[in-house]
Amino acid sequence: MTRALLIVDVQNDFTEGGALGVIGGDAVAAGITRHLEDHAGEYAVIVASRDWHDADSDNGGHIVPEGSDAAPDYVDTWPPHCIAGTEGAEYDPGLDTTAVTHHVKKGQGKPAYSMFEGVTDDGSTVAAVLAERGIETVDVVGIATDHCVRASALDAIEHGQHVRVLIDLIAGVAREPSDAALAELAHAGAELATSGSGGTPA
């Protein structure tokens, strides 16, 4: 098998009730779990990423600390979220990670949107994991369409992968930028599909 599933940031702080909760986040978690139940065996690698920001730090300007005079702009700066070791940084409970082969943490003191900027606990990058297993095709799912899903999918294309974005297994912050992100990905060569359209790529 030369295909992988990339699960982007399905974390408590990005689903309903979280610090930066996205509407539909819990449904995405449940949908990915169902997809894994049916298709996990068809992927050679299953990578799940998490934002993992340092506590008591602005993480390279990425986070505006509580009590600061500045306000987050929700483009380049954000309220505290996915702080290492907190409940908000953990996977959404609706996501069954049993089949995940590689867990990636990104951020860790600096801004990071793409899972390709993160590393596994042993220091491996996503690009290295995919290369080691001869992966040529990836399905991308997760949160948020207009931020980390977009960045991760674009980086996957940049690394020579054939990319499918499963649009029924993603959720965005807002409709307009999410639609723009999907249009950008399609223009860059990604295929937009659904998890029910043949499962994994041929």
**pLDDT tens readout for residues 100-123:** 999 999 988 787 899 999 999 999
Residue 122 tokens, joined:
């042993």
Out of 13, 26, 105, 106, pick the active-site residue.
106
pLDDT of 59 above 80:
no
Residue range 40-54: mean pLDDT, rounded? 95
Is residue 89 a part of any domain in this protein? yes
**pLDDT band with cut points at 50, 70 and 90 for residue 197:** low
13 within a domain of the structure (yes/no): no
Q: Is 105 a catalytic residue?
A: no
Answer yes or no: is 7 within a domain: no
- Residue 4 pLDDT: 98
> What domain range is 114 assigned to?
21-193
pLDDT at 83 exceeding the cut of 70: yes
Residue 76 is a catalytic residue: no
Q: Edge to edge, what strands does the sheet with 102-107 contain?
A: 102-107, 45-52, 3-8, 137-143, 162-171, 191-193
Residue 91 phi/psi, 5-degree rounding, is: -60, 145
pTM value surpassing 0.75? yes
Look at residue 182 and give its three-state secondary structure.
helix
Say how many domains are in the chain.
1
Of all residues in the chain, what percent carry a pLDDT higher than 90?
A: 78
Residue-wise over 70-90: b if at least 16 C-beta within 10 A, else e?
A: eebeeeebbebbbbeeeebbe
Assess if residue 201 is contained within a domain.
no
Tell me if 10 is assigned to some domain.
Answer: no
- Start-end of H helices in the chain: 25-39, 126-132, 150-158, 175-188
In a domain, 181, yes or no: yes
Q: 55-64, 68-77, 84-93 — which one is most confidently predicted on average?
A: 84-93
Considering the candidates 9, 26, 139, 146, report the single residue annotated as catalytic.
9
Q: Is residue 137 part of a domain?
A: yes
74: left (phi over 0), alpha (psi -120 to 50) or beta: left
11 close to 88: Cβ distance less than 8 angstroms:
yes
Residue 28 sits in a domain whose CATH number is 3.40.50.850
Is 106 an annotated catalytic residue?
Answer: yes
Which of residues 162 and 68 earns the better pLDDT score?
A: 162
At 199, the pLDDT band (50, 70, 90 cuts) reads very low
pLDDT beyond 50 at 202: no
User: Burial of 50 by CB count in 10 Å (0-12 exposed, 13-18 middle, 19+ buried)?
Assistant: buried
SS3 85: coil
| Cα 164 to Cα 154: distance, rounded to the nearest angstrom | 11
User: Which of the following is catalytic: 51, 92, 148, 155?
Assistant: 148
The angle at the Cα of 129, spanning 137 to 152, to the nearest 5 degrees, equals 60
88 part of a folded domain:
yes
